[in-house]
């Protein structure tokens, strides 16, 4: 066999190898937390994202991981812990990647790296989460700014001959034809995608609703009414919600999220297109809410993320690159023809060059399917009135038994606050979670004023108290007959020897997992949150002391408790 005769085989193998390599190209996957989120373990999810998520603005998934960290921190009841991630996300979303016509770009360039910003609907939801985090902290001016930022203009490519809104495929077809014509004339090949749309007013009802709430909380009643009017025009089901807010008989705003948002998938020739497919079907079922056993109230959804994701106005069309895919296919076909028609080494090199070029273009034509996998299917807002501290809020979506959740320990706002904001992310679990519907608080904590379980002892010493040590807390232990010879400094030092933190600031601005879940933090989640319910509404394994002092003291207390039980039994 001559060298020339063997060349086609070798080039063919080379092209096959290149194709295999290019087929594996793609951006690195984001940190996976879907399993934790599915069962409401937002503590484990946010810890994983805090420890392993992208932390440099020059990394592709920087905004995405900040968004997911914000979402899981809020779901776990830690709005203060989300402060740093929320601010960093907001700064990049707000200041970069806005077109002259006030529509948004899909990505920004930071340190010469293209950073994911998400589809327009994902960006709008990101601004909603910023507004929610600020509202939970009582920062209504910042909540108002974030909500206003979610109301950017959308791109409308119009309708087809049947009077139906253009689909992505139809827009791509028009784009290919017009781009081909303009390319032949030496004009911009992306002219249609860049200029073939009409910038129009957003239909993001949730954004108007949140903007109205923030304005009303600040005493800007007229501006609030204008935003509520826009929200109701877009979603008539919000009429009762806005009316109740404006009635003056609302002091608590409960935002509830249900289901899993849509996933982004590739399809079409060379996977050049992308689309969003529902994971949880869109529903019209109301959120049913009962406060402290009172009458049940029902509220319709304020936002359907599935509907947004499948509307071309809420997609940026960045993946409409089907023309490149066609060109790439043609180049490979040409390379095969050249290779088959000639055995010369020069022809084989030419064929290889054409094949490599074709494969590179096909690889670049494949749609980017990076997306925020933690978005919900629907968002609800329930305006409530809490008349007493430590309220119990029972909620369920429609007749779905797996969605039922009881939020305990919720308090009304302070004397100078118009609203208190609560947030609950319903876990998309396949079965009811054992802690989700309990009405008991099983551990003493800093946010509960109800009866405490006995004995009055720190959890690290065998009890069920996870309050931050103070003079009052130590006095409660002494009144129960324990820690008589310890000072407050002694108790604080005992915690420090165990590596346990008292504040978010001590932990670099991000609270670690709670000690009841194997972490090293005493920072209590917000009452009326899923994290509060999961942490304090179920029993946890006993604490395992680390330091010699804690081990010795725990052993002495165990002996003391056993002696007390013996005396009680004899009596």
Indicate the SS3 state at residue 221. helix
Residue 364, in any domain of the structure: no
pLDDT of the residue at 138: 96
Residue 463, in any domain of the structure: yes
Residue 489, in any domain of the structure: yes
Residue 310, in any domain of the structure: no
Residue 449, in any domain of the structure: no
Which domain covers residue 559, as residue numbers?
459-523+541-570
Q: State if pTM tops 0.75.
A: yes
Cα separation of 354 and 252, whole Å? 65
pLDDT of the residue at 326: 47
Cα separation of 127 and 124, whole Å? 5
Residue 305, in any domain of the structure: no
pLDDT of the residue at 455: 73
Question: Do residues 291 and 251 touch, judged by C-beta distance below 8 A?
Answer: no
pLDDT of the residue at 382: 98
Residue 480, in any domain of the structure: yes
DSSP codes joined into one string, 361-376: HHHHHSPP----TT--
pLDDT of the residue at 21: 44
Cα separation of 327 and 178, whole Å? 15
User: Which residues touch 412 (CB under 8 Å, ≥6 apart)?
Assistant: 251, 252, 386, 387, 388, 389, 391, 420
pLDDT of the residue at 13: 46
Number of domains in the chain: 1
Residue 471, in any domain of the structure: yes
Q: List average pLDDT for each run of 10 residues in the chain, which is 571 residues long.
A: 45 47 46 93 96 87 95 97 96 75 74 82 97 97 97 90 82 76 66 80 97 97 98 97 95 97 86 87 95 96 96 80 46 50 61 58 69 96 95 95 94 91 90 89 88 82 95 94 94 97 94 96 96 96 96 92 62 48
Cα separation of 338 and 533, whole Å? 68
Q: Classify burial at 471, counting beta carbons within 10 Å of its beta carbon; exposed 0-12, middle 13-18, buried 19 or more.
A: exposed
pLDDT of the residue at 384: 98
Give the CB-side neighbour count of residue 164, counting CA atoms within 13 A.
7
């Amino acid at each position: 066999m001559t060298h020339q005769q063997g060349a086609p085989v070798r080039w063919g193998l080379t092209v096959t190898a290149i194709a295999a390599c290019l087929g594996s190209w793609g951006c690195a996957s984001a940190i996976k937390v879907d399993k934790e989120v599915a069962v409401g373990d937002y503590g484990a999810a946010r810890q994983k994202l805090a420890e392993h998520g992208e932390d440099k603005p020059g990394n592709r998934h920087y905004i995405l991981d900040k968004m997911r960290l914000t979402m899981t921190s809020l779901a776990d009841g830690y709005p203060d812990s989300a402060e740093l991630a929320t601010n960093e996300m907001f700064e990049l979303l707000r200041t970069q990647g806005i077109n002259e016509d006030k529509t948004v770009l899909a990505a920004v360039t930071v340190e010469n790296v293209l950073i994911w910003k998400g589809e327009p609907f994902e960006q709008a939801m990101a601004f909603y989460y910023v507004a929610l985090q600020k509202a939970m902290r009582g920062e209504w001016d910042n909540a108002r700014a974030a909500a206003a930022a979610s109301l950017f203009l959308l791109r409308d490519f119009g309708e087809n001959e049947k009077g139906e809104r253009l689909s992505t495929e139809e827009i791509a077809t028009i784009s290919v034809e017009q781009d081909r014509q303009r390319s032949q004339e030496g004009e911009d090949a992306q002219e249609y995608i860049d200029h073939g749309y009409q910038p129009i007013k957003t239909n993001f009802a949730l954004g108007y609703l949140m903007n109205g709430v923030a304005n009303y909380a600040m005493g800007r009643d007229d501006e609030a009414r204008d935003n509520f009017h826009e929200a109701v025009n877009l979603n008539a089901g919000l009429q009762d919600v806005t009316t109740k807010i404006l009635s003056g008989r609302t002091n608590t705003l409960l935002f509830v999220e249900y289901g899993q948002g849509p996933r982004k998938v590739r399809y079409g020739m060379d996977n050049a297109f992308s689309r969003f497919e529902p994971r949880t079907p869109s529903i019209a079922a109301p959120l049913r809410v009962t406060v402290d056993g009172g009458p049940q109230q029902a509220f319709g959804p304020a936002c359907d993320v599935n509907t947004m994701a499948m509307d071309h106005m809420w997609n940026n069309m960045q993946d409409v690159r089907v023309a490149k895919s066609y060109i790439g296919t043609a180049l490979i076909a040409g390379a095969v023809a050249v290779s088959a028609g000639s055995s010369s080494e020069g022809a084989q090199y030419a064929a290889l060059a054409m094949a490599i070029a074709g494969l590179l273009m096909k690889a670049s034509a494949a749609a980017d399917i990076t997306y925020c996998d933690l978005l919900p299917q629907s968002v609800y807002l329930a305006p409530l009135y809490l008349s007493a501290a430590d309220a119990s809020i029972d909620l369920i979506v429609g007749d779905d038994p797996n969605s039922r959740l009881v939020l305990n320990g919720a308090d009304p706002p302070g004397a100078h606050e118009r609203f208190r904001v609560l947030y609950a992310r319903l876990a998309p679990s396949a079965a009811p979670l054992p802690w989700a519907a309990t009405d008991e608080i099983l551990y003493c904590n800093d946010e509960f004023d109800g009866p405490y379980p006995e004995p009055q002892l720190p959890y690290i010493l065998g009890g069920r108290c996870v309050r931050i040590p103070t003079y009052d807390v130590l006095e409660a232990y002494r009144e129960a007959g324990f820690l008589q010879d310890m000072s407050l400094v002694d108790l604080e030092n005992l915690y420090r020897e165990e590596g346990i933190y008292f504040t978010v600031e001590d932990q670099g601005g991000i609270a670690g997992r709670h000690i009841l879940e194997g972490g090293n933090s005493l920072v209590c989640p917000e009452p009326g949150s899923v994290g509060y319910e999961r942490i304090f509404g179920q029993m946890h394994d006993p604490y395992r002391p680390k330091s010699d002092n804690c081990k010795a003291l725990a052993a002495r207390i165990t002996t003391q408790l056993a002696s007390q039980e013996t005396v009680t039994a004899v009596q």
